[in-house]
Amino acid sequence: MSRQRIEQEVVDYVSMNFDPSEWDIEGIVEEIHDLGFDTVDDMDQDTFTEILQRHDLG
């Protein structure tokens, strides 16, 4: 599993939609990786949204 790919996808998504400083990027990447996903695209939208909400620092 590629943490770097997940991290790049998360950074790209958060940067396009939010202020990255308000998000725990490393925490998001860690949780996605721990769940066994290879990419953000492998996840359903609800799961990704739930993970984002748990790591919202804003």
pLDDT per residue as tens digits for the range 6-41:
999 999 999 999 999 999 999 999 999 999 999 999
Question: Which is more confident, 15 or 58?
Answer: 15
Question: 6 CB contacts (<8 Å, ≥6 apart)?
Answer: 29, 32, 33, 37, 38, 39, 40
pLDDT for res 14: 95
Pick from 51, 54, 46, 44: which is nearest to 10 by CA? 51
- Residue whose entry in the numeric block shows the structure tokens 């998001």: 28
Q: pLDDT class for 58, splitting at 50, 70, 90?
A: confident
Residue 22 to residue 44: CA distance in whole angstroms = 23
Q: Which residue has the higher pLDDT, 12 or 58?
A: 12
